[in-house]
Structure 1
Amino acid sequence: MNLHKVIDITIFNLLEQKYGKVKFDLIIVSDNDALLFTIKYYHRLFYRVPVVFCGINNFKDSLIEKYRKWFTGIAEETDVEGTINIALRLHPDTKRVYVINDITTTGLAMKKNLLEIFPKFSDKVNFILLENPDMKELQKEVEKIPPKSIILLLLVNRDRTGNFFAYEESLDLLYPHSKSPIYSVWDFYLGRGIVGGKLTSAYLQGKKAGELAMQILQGKSPSEIPVIKESPNEYMFDYNELKRFHVSLNKLPKESRVINLPESFWVKYRKTLIGITLIFIGLSLVIIVLSINISKRKKVEKELRISEEKYRDLYDNAPDMYHSVDKNGIIIECNETEAKMLGYKKEEIIGKPITYFMTEESRKAQEEFFPNLEKYSFIQIERDFVRKDGSVFTAALNVYVEVDEKGNFIKTKTIGRDITYRKKIEEELRKSKEALRKLSVYLQNVRENERKEIAREIHDELGQPLTALKLSLSWIKKRIDDEILNKKFDETINIVNSLIKQVQNLANKLRPSLLDHLTLEDAIMWQIKEFERNTSITCHVDIADNNLKLSKNLALNIFRIFQEALTNIARHANATVVHVKMFRSNGSILLIIKDNGVGISEDKIKSPESFGLMAMRERAYSINATFDIRKSSEGGTEVILSVPLKENV
């Protein structure tokens, strides 16, 4: 969980609710915030559970002294000094070093190291610290950086305005604006725009943490495992960035690792060379095979006779059941495996109808199916068989149909496998999935009720006092004959008006009151106006039926799906126009939202991390609706929601 984005108590409540009664074997935490959270709530959530930590900056033994019996791990000591040294060595004319850093827990730890290092370079370069920046302002600041400067990017997980950024995202936002070389101390920036540096490897941190975890799971106590305080750092560089700033590979430390190096002749033409070699070898083999073909033929004939004997043995002792039936459904052959599975001898099986060994239900299905079997060359079916002792098992049958040259049925060749256990697991999975879906619907209803209650409290507890304040200010203003004071009163009243509007907007975002007092159509039109106002994207709306009488729950779920679709367009589509249609069709309500943006990829549609799409599908399921999203052939993305009226109105 990302503790940079969510406050401690929220994570604690979630974990306590979900895992309060679960006993873990081990917990792995990464980053200072995660470790501090674990220590803070250790007695309440994870008491006596072994903890392995990694990625901890400025680690001190006192941090875990109280819990050393249960805690061990690996510290993350970044080599800022090493990175600055190599950067100045590769760019000897550097006059200024711009350091970019945030004020998260890790960022503050990095700053402490910086302040200790700065004096060592005071006679060489000037340091400019860009701390806790606003991302947009930082982009402009980076563009203004003069020549003979380098950038040392530490962290921008959160900017001054409260926006959060993934590690890679912050660099992606800054790189296009930089004309100066960018260095860092983290390997996750490599390949995304930094020249390099003496980098801390997150991969090696995680690998080492995993090794420590395995020792604990194998029985070793955390207190017996020393905390690793030397972080595995190494020189790493990006060839593309080295080339961009005219840095020779010869200047790099010998132990450096360089990515994106140009391909060698072998690597570049490897497939062609391998292909030519294989063709040559193949032709040589053909010549050899042809030369020995005559002498080998007799040997093959002998091996075939031996093979037939082996085949019979394999056939009878194969792990799967095997049988053949003639055109009358009579068993003409079976292997020992099938005989054992049914509890009979082969002689008791051969000559009987295959339906003799089936349950009543499967017997009827087989009798209806068998006359049409000659239409197939291969088919897969499932049948329930009855053993000699009366027990039943389910078998998956692969039926191959053998016909003569005129297409007339001769016999079947059937391979079967006992899938009783698999069927049981499938049924349990189906029930689990259904239970999860019901839980999802319940959580959605809880969330909507909470939104409604919060919106009401915001309106009552903030909106009404602000309105009263506005009226009081207006009353006082009318009774004061002072131009300066009246002007100040006007300014204050305007501020109160602005606050009232903000409260109303916040309440509407949480729970549009239109859903409670008007119709779904009115709520959709309101949301479209808000969307156009906030995004400048043009919307074309066609609602064919304005007299839909829907339950509040149904209207709410349709509206939330529509709302999420617009949110996805605003975030990802890069669209300029959106078309919205809602109409009746064949006893259903059809809602179609289509944009002219970049279009959604199949990977995104199928991704388990597309939580917005997942929520839309679950809402659709809760109202027995069908939900489809796809990339339009005309460009852009199309969302189609079909809600059956018979089940919902």
Structure 2
Amino acid sequence: MKYFLLFSILFFNYLFADQSKEVLLIHSYHKGYIWTDDISRTIEKNFDSHKNIELTTVYMDTKRIDDSTYLYNLSKLYKQQFEGRKFDLIIVSDNNAFDFMIKYHDYLFKNIPVLFCGINNFDKVLLGENDMYKYMSGLAEEVDIEKNFELISHMHPNLKNLLIINDTSSTGSAIKRDLNPIIEKYQNRFNIEYTDNLEISNLQDKVSNLDKKNSVILFVLLFKDTTGKFFTHKQSFEEVRKVSQVPIYGLWDFYLHSGIVGGLLTSAVAQGETVSKMALEVLNGKKITDIPILEKSPNLYMFNYDELKRFNLDIPDYVENPIIINEPSTIYKEHSKFFIITILIILILSIIVVILRANIIRREKLELELSNRIEFDKVLLDTIPNPIYYKNVEGKFLGCNTSFASLVSSSRNEVIGKTAFDFFPYKVASENTARDKELLLTFCTSTSEFTFYTASNEMKHIILNKAVYKNIDGSVGGIVCIMDDITERIQQKQFLIQQSKLAEMGDMIAAIAHQWNEPLVELSALVQDIQTSYLLKELKDDEVKEFVNDSMVQIKYMSRTLNDFRNFLKPSTKKKLFSISKSLSEINEIIGKQVFYSNIKMNFNYKNENEELLVYGYENEFKQVLLNIINNAKNKIVDKNLPINKKGNININIQRCQNFNTIEIIDDAGSIDEKIINSIFEPYFTTKADGTGLGLYMAKIIIEEKMRGTINAKNDGDNVIFTIKLPHKKA
């Protein structure tokens, strides 16, 4: 019986000790804010060895939003979120979470003990007023501003200007209240300027203009400037430091690694260490009322050696045992490290002897896995529909997938060991070989296009995407290429271009009608004159000859018009250099009279006189773009129903730039609605009842994809400007 009781006591003690403890950590701010992250990381580290503690962490995000409605909604969210959970302890960090807990403790976590940390301007009275003494304990966060002023005064005896940078957050406002009496105390010793209401660029201007010899900055906080722009602690400090040529001091240790000289710094790690020790005491059974509140913050003198050296500063003698980061090691420390490293090396070598056998077994296992992976990669490559190959630095194929083998009408084994010259035309193979050699030197990626005919005489348009690969020893292995067959896409685009051309045929036929109107009138008059002369028996040989000559002039003019129309409909098969002025002249021949009879004045303004401007691309498609834009402008002007005595205007400006030739087509038919101006180049977008929505879309395809240029539209008052930029040499 005695042994049974002893066993029962031990069992229940073990069971109780192993019970899971749930802790809720509520942060005032957000994840990524280094102060919060340091506290959280320290608590997690101290709880790590206690497997029975389950820690839940939430972030109130009050750096970004902290109005009463938000906090009320947050309380309702927590009520719903933690309704079914029983916490053993609540930890809150910083003032907003502390105030939130005082207000909503009974509503959310009634009778549950609470520990706080990082509390600025802590006042015990607040706990008494809210009857929270029996539930709360913790430690305050005390920023010792006066001692930092004292430190700055000692380190800069000739100081004339002190710039204090702060923000208007709750923490910043609390520090401002503490600063006021200290500023009054020191303002007779040097000029003190306080700012918390500047936009970041104005603040940078102020910092950059500080006197380099006799000025110092005290950087408090800056998470939001006057424009409402938010910063991380690091972003705001770096914006100031990059323009500062004077020493910068701080109040928190998280700025130390970013480049402050130092100071008597408040440490988030120390806050986390202290509150986690208190938490373990509570979780081990100690009453919250038996844990005294620590009102003295564990601040430390900490300095950055690099900044001390940069400004040639010495730490005052009264500062005892300062912590200095980035300080070079002393000879003793260097020898200590060498000794430790030597011992570690001996231990590692000893361990290596023990685990050699295990490594051999592991290697055998890896070899098996590697063989399986190689087999998997083969299947994966064959599953990919794109042709893929890889070759060595000599240009010989090492392998490929079935898609590539099918493309070149060979088996995989027939491909291996051969070169591009065995499967592709000489010109294509030569160009790709030259590109491969350049790629092996630059280690860049490469994208190119080529066209060739397969063994079945089928034309293929291919895009090559290449990259250099390295062997496991770092040496260059060769080149991997993934092909993309774009034949169908090119054919589809060419079809759309032709479809767009056909959509212009109505305007083209109307233009031909205008072109033929004048020569037909002339021919009619000539026929009537010759008929009259014949009836009056006054017809002479010279008159007949003159009639024939004059008639042929008009007939040839009409024939030339038909040739221009027929040439316009033909698709261009290859890129070439062609004249902009010649293209515009041919466009004018086709639609010039139609524009004229529409009471529109069309002007061609060449900025580079006596210079032939050339473009590299597809001539007929380029003329199609010009015709589409000019026709659109003409139709808009006609729709305005201008008075007879008032002409519309289409101005075409042509100018040579450094790398481009620029064509501007400007009409005065009224601006395009700003709501749709960014959509006019989209396929099938049109504002016309009978429009196709292909004209401007194909214009963009032709100019930007086929000719490597740019096209855009913008409003200029009541004018609309279409700007086309095209390279004047082969890209």
Q: TM-score, normalised by structure 1?
A: 0.42
Bigger radius of gyration: 2
Q: TM-score, normalised by structure 2?
A: 0.38
Higher helix share: 1
